[in-house]
Amino acid sequence: MTQFTPPLHQSPHFPNPTMNKNQIPRTRPWPGFPTSKSLGTSFGDANCMEQLLVHCANAIESNDVTLAQQILWVLNNITPPDGDSNQRLAGSFLRALTARAAKTGSCKMLEAVADAHSINDLAIHTHKFSIIELANFVDLTPWHRFGFTAANAAILEATEGFSVIHIVDLSLTHCMQIPTLIDAIANRHEVPPLIKLTVAGSACRDVPPMLDLSYDELGTKLVNFARSKNVVMEFRVVSSSYEDGFAALIQHLRVQHLVYEAEGHHPTEALVINCHMMLHYIPDETVALSSISDSNSYVYSSSSASSLRSMFLKALRTLDPTIVVLVDEDADLTSNNLVSRLRSAFNYLWIPYDTVDTFLPRGSKQRQWYEADICWKIENVIAHEGLQRVERVEPKSRWEQRMRNANFHGISFSEDSVSEVKGMLDEHAAGWGLKREDEHLVLTWKGHNVIFASAWLPA
């Protein structure tokens, strides 16, 4: 089997001329750091690895080269790329911290690394999927299927009786949810409604998972699939990006909305906004109108400074959508403090590393692709700042408040919807679970919150 070069989680090795390969480095005392003796008996312990990573991050941030190099050496020797889930998780954080040090240029420890390894070897090789590969890939785990299943059930119920369904799909997975929805609509109606599908063409071109074809080509395949189900579908790509809060997409939808109003509005057309793990890429910093372009100021008119996320949701509300479905990861990766962010990420992203052992054999290509995507996420959270740090996941509670502030109210998923989600989970490992929190559904792994699904109506 062809292997990636270098292996996806191959940690850089840090030579130290004063040590032999079997020697644990002498450490200076600092609060909370385990002694060399305790390290020898707890290499596989997640808490120990987290402590090491935290101290390493602090050392890099304070430019304490000696301490950082010592910790990196220890981490490098206890995180083999073929180790258990904790070791592979810590190895990805080690890679990310090394990338941060290389990126900032403030820590000279990497001069030693360069002697043994090219810094370019730190690059993460993410795979570009074909449509078939990506469809099979997202079916491996409930990570995406949970949101697909819950969202499609809510959309079907909300659009009952409409002759036209306009779906705005803001999805990280490039419309992989849509074929199942088309199939369900075809089976539900004797004369299926017309489906209009609008996507943001520039939404996530640099964020994994990545496609190996254009959105125009993707649209052609979706239209042909719909035709095979006797469903008429129109596909439209709007060049729009999360970087400015999808301003071009909002403007496009607003123009359409004004045309409908001028024509007396078509009461039989449903507007569905499907947000699947995409909104957390919109910048979360508070911005003033003066800091946005004139065109965006027109789209996002506000009397006071606000975040682009909140402005986007308020703009959606002015379109009076039939339903908004919001699915995302239930974690908080938004802190401006590196150590806080590292702790939050470490205590959330152990989950995909733990789950992968239940459904993919070591050495398989799909496992390499899967872990490369997680590794990319970790590096973005840890190694980058400013606009380059796009992985800014917010917890369910914060999204709930944002939606309410934008004048939406949550609706409960029906028992039929819950049954569909449970049926889907039965196809996967026993560690996956489902629970209700208020009106929303939450996917769990071994009791820990993973993904939430919520449905919203204009208040």
Instruction: State the DSSP code for 14.
Output: -
User: 30-34, 106-110, 199-203: lowest mean pLDDT where?
Assistant: 30-34
Supply the mean pLDDT for the chain.
Answer: 85
Query: How far apart are the C-alpha atoms of 260 and 268, rounded to whole Å?
Result: 11
- DSSP strand pairing (408-411 vs 286-287): unpaired
**What confidence score (pLDDT) does residue 300 get?**
63
CB proximity list for 363: less than 8 A, separation 6 or greater:
1
User: 126-130, 287-291, 352-356, 429-433: lowest mean pLDDT where?
Assistant: 287-291
**What confidence score (pLDDT) does residue 261 get?**
67
Q: Judge whether 9 and 92 are in contact, CB under 8 Å.
A: yes
If we measure between CA atoms, which residue out of 422, 446, 432 comes closest to residue 149? 422
Q: Average pLDDT of 187-215?
A: 91
Name which residue leads in pLDDT, 53 or 15: 53
**Whether pLDDT at 30 is above 70:** no
Q: Judge whether 27 and 33 are in contact, CB under 8 Å.
A: yes
**Whether pLDDT at 106 is above 50:** yes
**What confidence score (pLDDT) does residue 42 get?**
58
**What confidence score (pLDDT) does residue 430 get?**
94
**Whether pLDDT at 118 is above 70:** no
The sign one gets for the Cα dihedral 53, 54, 59, 60 is positive
User: 24-38, 228-242, 277-291: lowest mean pLDDT where?
Assistant: 24-38
Phi-psi region of 267 (alpha: psi -120 to 50; beta: other; left: phi over 0): alpha
Query: How far apart are the C-alpha atoms of 95 and 441, rounded to whole Å?
Result: 34
**Whether pLDDT at 52 is above 90:** yes
**What confidence score (pLDDT) does residue 291 get?**
43
DSSP reduced 3-state for 255 = helix
Tell me the percentage of the chain whose pLDDT exceeds 70. Answer: 80
**What confidence score (pLDDT) does residue 366 get?**
93
444-458 pLDDT, tens digit each: 999 999 999 999 999
**What confidence score (pLDDT) does residue 379 get?**
97
**What confidence score (pLDDT) does residue 122 get?**
60
Q: Average pLDDT of 260-280?
A: 84
Q: Average pLDDT of 312-337?
A: 97
Q: Judge whether 318 and 260 are in contact, CB under 8 Å.
A: no
DSSP reduced 3-state for 65 = helix
User: 11-15, 64-68, 177-181, 241-245: lowest mean pLDDT where?
Assistant: 11-15
User: 2-6, 37-41, 136-140, 407-411: lowest mean pLDDT where?
Assistant: 2-6
**What confidence score (pLDDT) does residue 301 get?**
54
**Whether pLDDT at 377 is above 50:** yes
**What confidence score (pLDDT) does residue 102 get?**
83
Q: Average pLDDT of 396-408?
A: 98
**Whether pLDDT at 238 is above 90:** yes
As given in the structure block, the two tokens for residue 116 are 């043994």
Name which residue leads in pLDDT, 121 or 365: 365
Own/partner pairs, 17-24, CB within 8 angstroms, 24+ separation? 19/73, 24/74
CB proximity list for 3: less than 8 A, separation 6 or greater:
368
DSSP string, 360-420: S-TT-HHHHHHHHHHHHHHHHHHH--GGG-------HHHHHHHHHHTTEEEEPPPHHHHHH
